C-alpha cells in the first residue's frame, strides 16, 4: 500500500487558503500549512508522495490547480504533469524548512 500523500501549503503566500481548501475538498491528501520556505513566488505548494517531496511555485490559475489535484490524486508512481513541471523549484526538492 502506498503512503498517504501530504500537501504542504505556505501559509504566508497569497492564495494559501484557496489552495489548501481545494486540496482538502478535491483529494484525500493530508494538508499542512507551513511557514515560508524562502522560495516564494506566491501560491507555493509542496507535495510529498512515495517519500519524495517536490515544491511548486505559482500554482495560481485554474489549469495549474487542476494539474496539482491530478498529481495528488494519481496512482503511484506518478509523473509530474507538464503544466507543473515548469513550476518545479529544484533547489528545495526533498527538503522542508522547519518553521
Q: What is the pLDDT of residue 56?
A: 94
Low-confidence ranges of the chain (pLDDT < 70): 1-3, 99
The pTM of this model reads 0.89
pLDDT of residue 93: 86
Q: Sign of the C-alpha dihedral, residues 14, 69, 9, 96?
A: negative
Q: What's the pLDDT score for residue 3?
A: 67
Q: Is 78 exposed, middle or buried (0-12, 13-18, 19+ CB in 10 A)?
A: middle
Amino acid at each position: 500500500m502506498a503512503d498517504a500523500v501530504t500537501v504542504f501549503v505556505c501559509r504566508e503566500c497569497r492564495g494559501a487558503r484557496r489552495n489548501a481548501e481545494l486540496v482538502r475538498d478535491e483529494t484525500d491528501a493530508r494538508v499542512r500549512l507551513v511557514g515560508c520556505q524562502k522560495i516564494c513566488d506566491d501560491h507555493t505548494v509542496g507535495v510529498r508522495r512515495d517519500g519524495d517531496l517536490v515544491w511548486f511555485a505559482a500554482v495560481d490559475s485554474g489549469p495549474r490547480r487542476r494539474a496539482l489535484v491530478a498529481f495528488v490524486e494519481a496512482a503511484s508512481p506518478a509523473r509530474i504533469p507538464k503544466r507543473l513541471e515548469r513550476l518545479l523549484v529544484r533547489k528545495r526538492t526533498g527538503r522542508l524548512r522547519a518553521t
